[in-house]
A and B are shown apart, each in its own frame.
Chain A
Amino acid sequence: MNMPILSVRNIEKSFGGIRAVRDVSFDVQKGEILGLIGPNGSGKSTLFNCILGQLKPEKGEVEVQGRKVSGLRASQLNKLGVGRTFQQLSVFPKMSVLDNIILAGQEHHGSMLSRLFGPSDAGLTEAAERLISFFRLDHLRDTLAGSLSYGQQKLVDAAMAFMAGPSLVLLDEPAGGVNLTMLAHLKERLVAYNAEHGTTFVVIEHNMEFVMSLCTRVIVLAEGEVIAEGTPAEIRANPKVIDAYLGGGA
């Protein structure tokens, strides 16, 4: 098997007396779309933040393409090809859609000084426009991101995560608060991006329909531990998962 693009080894994280993440390990292969699901308080977001360096785990290691990344800052992680979206809306509201997306790529071009004295564009506008077209946001190119609808901002957020051409993108509840039409559009675009670029996704999500139709593999967390792992069909049929999370109706 090839070297995993993301390797999470024995991660443990506690808050006071509460063990939020308990000895979690998994690998993600290149091109996979992995879903991370679990009830509220199961440790998904804590695990995400440990992977992305926003929380320091007490134990364990995170490797991206074989390189240990524990202790790196978010900007350093981004430069290693790791993109992310946030659970809360995370666009820059007073900047246009185009500027939001250009910003997401500019730090990957040239040195700090060349970004001040060099050509101000360096092909970024063209690249951003391609992404804007990909997410079918052309009509909103020059609109301030803060004046877009919630679903459109989620699309801009996703486009920003892809601007630097990452090899791995972690999506934190991309479907949260998005209406059904926009959700179908978002899912279709994510699948298309994955097929076109081979980008790996790790997705935290509560919307089961979205996860089961998007992901190729699903990991289920409960009380900070991995209780199941498998294809969406296997997860749907797993009695432990039904008991802990999905319930009879799932």
Chain B
Amino acid sequence: MTLNRSLLTKIAIAVLLLAAIVAPIGQGNYITYVLTSWLVFSIAAMGLNLTLGYAGQISLAQASFMAIGAYTTALLTLAGWHWVLAMPLGLILCFGVGLLLGYPALRVKGHLLAFVTLAFNTLVFLVLRNEEWLTGGTFGLVGMPRPDFFIFKTMKQLHFYYFTLGITVFASLAMWGIVRSPWGRAFKALRENPVRAESLGVDTRRITLLAFAIGSAYGGLAGALITPLVQFIEPGSFGLAHSLRILLMVVVGGSGFFFGPFLGAGVVILLPEVLRFTEGYYLIIYSALVIVMLVFVPSGLIGLGGRLREKLWPRQQVRGDLVEGAAQK
């Protein structure tokens, strides 16, 4: 049964990857751009999913890390650096700033922590808007080049999509490694019972800081991809509303589930496009769908899938204490 399940998961991943490869073929530039946005926001949501979904630390600042990654990459690529060199610097900066943002989480939890991160997002927005000499202020930065890799040039929308897909696969594999490692177990323990985790030797302070730092670095990576994708960035693209949007992706997809961010980003980015045929009503329908979903399936789309699976193919398992002779075994 376990083997079948694992085989099914592998087949599902292969099918999804294949779908991601063929999806933009024959599509126009706009659809390919939307699909690329989906990948970029999936990376940002993957980071927040680590901080919130796995480690249980609320953050309303993911867009600000996208901003730090985006502006670092933009400034460096405009100065002539190759994207491959500029991006890691953005990531390192986000990791460091994320580590610092994690410190308040050692003292405050829940809604208070949400407000701390919200204030941080606002602070980053104000710095980007006011420090015109560096960031271009409200005019933003424009004309960042797309990276070339010898014969593979990403100037065409389709090529940039495949470049982003490659980065997304790499980022996903790294995240898969993290959540399946002892660190991943420690993140979950922090979410479920920090006092017990500490009593078992888990350094909950260090693991809290790492949850913020790694999640923020993923935000930075998404930002580093936004820069060459849009080739124009301005502070308004990284405001609080965008952090809430990334949070929505995590919650809608299924917080704490590995594939949740992909589904959530799909719903938040792609659904409004699918609903465009309804013209003026699409935002109303979209909002109503999100409300209905959150009320009836708080564990997100992955949770809904789990429920359906349990209903259609229930596991042949009885409660352990009802097994004959369980206590005497």
**Using a CB–CB distance below 8 Å, which chain A residues touch chain B?**
52, 73-75, 78-79, 83-84, 86, 90-95, 99, 102-104, 106-108, 112, 115-116, 120, 136-140, 143, 147-149, 151-152, 160, 163-164, 181-182, 185
Smallest CB-CB A-B distances: 8 pairs: A107-B201, A149-B321, A78-B201, A115-B182, A140-B320, A90-B196, A106-B182, A92-B192
- The answer on a CB contact under 8 Å between B182 and A74 is no
With A139-B320, A139-B323 given, is the CB distance from A116 to B198 under 8 Å? no
CB B51 to nearest CB in A, in angstroms, measures 17
Q: Which of A90, A106, A138 has a CB less than 8 Å from the CB of B185? A: A106
* Alpha-carbon gap, A90 to B329, bound state (A): 23
With A115-B183, A139-B323 given, is the CB distance from A107 to B203 under 8 Å? yes
- The answer on a CB contact under 8 Å between A93 and B201 is no
With A92-B188, A103-B186, A120-B180 given, is the CB distance from A149 to B196 under 8 Å? no
Closest partner residue, chain B, to A97 (CB atom): B320
Q: Which of A52, A79, A102, A152 has a CB less than 8 Å from the CB of B320? A: A152
- The answer on a CB contact under 8 Å between B185 and A94 is no
**Chain A residues with CB under 8 A of B177:** 116
**Using a CB–CB distance below 8 Å, which chain B residues touch chain A?**
177-178, 180-183, 185-186, 188-189, 192-193, 195-204, 206, 256, 317, 319-321, 323, 326-329
CB B99 to nearest CB in A, in angstroms, measures 14
CB A51 to nearest CB in B, in angstroms, measures 12
Q: Which of A83, A107, A138, A151 has a CB less than 8 Å from the CB of B202? A: A107
- Main SS class of interface, B: helix
Closest partner residue, chain B, to A147 (CB atom): B319
CB B17 to nearest CB in A, in angstroms, measures 24
- The answer on a CB contact under 8 Å between B182 and A120 is yes
**Chain A residues with CB under 8 A of B206:** 112
With A92-B193, A139-B329, A143-B317 given, is the CB distance from A73 to B178 under 8 Å? no
**Chain A residues with CB under 8 A of B326:** 139, 152
- The answer on a CB contact under 8 Å between B196 and A86 is yes
- The answer on a CB contact under 8 Å between A78 and B200 is yes
- The answer on a CB contact under 8 Å between B201 and A75 is yes
- The answer on a CB contact under 8 Å between A75 and B198 is yes
Residue of B186, B192, B199, B202 contacting most chain A CB atoms (<10 Å):
B199
- The answer on a CB contact under 8 Å between B200 and A107 is yes
Q: What would 8 A/B residue contacts be, using CB atoms closer than 8 Å?
A: A74-B195, A78-B199, A79-B201, A84-B199, A90-B196, A91-B196, A106-B185, A151-B321
- The answer on a CB contact under 8 Å between B192 and A94 is yes
Q: Which of A75, A138, A160 has a CB less than 8 Å from the CB of B204? A: A75
With A181-B327, A182-B327 given, is the CB distance from A74 to B199 under 8 Å? yes
With A92-B189, A92-B193, A149-B319 given, is the CB distance from A160 to B182 under 8 Å? no
CB A190 to nearest CB in B, in angstroms, measures 15
- The answer on a CB contact under 8 Å between B328 and A102 is no
CB A229 to nearest CB in B, in angstroms, measures 27
Residue of B180, B192, B198, B327 contacting most chain A CB atoms (<10 Å):
B327
- The answer on a CB contact under 8 Å between B193 and A90 is yes
**Chain B residues with CB under 8 A of A75:** 198-204
Q: Which of A102, A136, A164, A182 has a CB less than 8 Å from the CB of B201? A: A164
CB A209 to nearest CB in B, in angstroms, measures 18
CB A85 to nearest CB in B, in angstroms, measures 9
**Chain B residues with CB under 8 A of A104:** 200-201
With A139-B323, A148-B321 given, is the CB distance from A74 to B183 under 8 Å? no
